[in-house]
Structure 1
Amino acid sequence: MPLVRISLRRGKSAAHLAALRNGIYAAMRETFNVPEDDRFILIHQHDAEEFDCDPHYLGIARSDDLVIVQITCNNSRTVAQKQAFYRCVAEKLAADPGLRPEDVFINLLETAKENWSFGNGIAQYA
């Protein structure tokens, strides 16, 4: 059950935000074997002074369109799956909404299955 948090600068259209959500969800379905309807995605928009990111870290030229994707998920994916996921997200977001691959920053936070409760005060995966 991935929990996706997308952070970006404020001012993008509803269509742009939907494309971000849909592209990331599609990539999770394709590369992480996420089941249909397992969709929990939050968007956080920030004013420019609240979004401080180095534009050249590791030699990658980032623009003001940088999108930071942080995903909390079970610790069950291989390195190959993660690499495929990163590529797939960058490709999907380049296609729609037109992000440059340099502006797609992804961070995975992996946790044990018993650390999730989907409701009713129950640890459904424990």
Structure 2
Amino acid sequence: MPLVHISLRTGKSEAYRQAIFDGLYRALHESFAVPEDDQFMTITEHDAANFRYGASYLGVDRGDDLVYIQITANDTRSVDQKKALFRRVVDLLGENPGIRPQDVFVNIVEVAKENWSLGNGLAHYA
């Protein structure tokens, strides 16, 4: 049950944003075995004054098309699954909507399964 927050600069089309959603869900489905219809994602757009990044931190040449992707997920995935997810996200977002690998920034926040309530005040995984 990942929860995905995506941040990017303003000005991208709806088709571009939907392609990000689609690519991320596909990568999560393939790499993390996320079930069908388990899609909980938001996109937040920022103007240039409210979007900062290190243009060359760790030798990565980032540009204004940088996309921040933060995934909150259960702490049940292996390091290999995480590496596979990072690679698959870059590949799929490179295909559509055409984001350069250098402009895909992914962070996973792991939480214990009992920290989720998906509605109705229930602890669905506890």
Give 1:25's aligned residue: 25
TM-score, normalised on structure 1?
0.99
Deviations along 1:30-64, one digit per CA (max 9) or x if unpaired, are: 00000001100000100100001111000000010
Identity of aligned residues (%): 56
Residue 12 of structure 2: aligned partner: 12
Query: SS where residue 102 of structure 2 aligns?
Result: helix
TM-score, with structure 2 as normaliser: 0.99
Residues 1:71 and 2:57 aligned together: no
State the match for 2:112 in structure 1.
112
Amino acid at match of 1:66: L
SS in 1 for 2:82: helix
Q: Does 1:36 align with 2:33?
A: no
- Read off the aligned partner of 1:60 and give its amino acid letter: V
Counterpart CA distance in 2 for 1:21 and 1:55 is 24
Q: Secondary structure at the match of 1:28?
A: helix
Q: Which amino acid aligns with 1:29?
A: H
The C-alpha deviation readout for 1:90-114, integer Å capped at 9, x for no partner, is: 0000000000000000000000000
Q: Give the Cα–Cα distance (whole angstroms) in 2 for the partners of residues 5 and 46 of structure 1.
A: 13
Match of 1:3 in 2: 3
List aligned pairs for 1:74-113, cutoff 5 A: 74-113=74-113
Q: 1:124 & 1:87 partners in 2: Cα distance?
A: 30
| Cα RMSD after superposing both structures | 0.3
TM-aligned CA deviation for residue 72 of structure 1:
0.3
Question: Which whole-Å CA distance do the structure 2 matches of 1:81 and 1:124 have between them?
Answer: 23
Distance 1:89 1:10 in 2: 21
Match in the other structure for 2:123: 123
**Structure 1 residue 47 and structure 2 residue 38: aligned?**
no
- SS of 1:98's equivalent? coil
Amino acid at match of 1:4: V
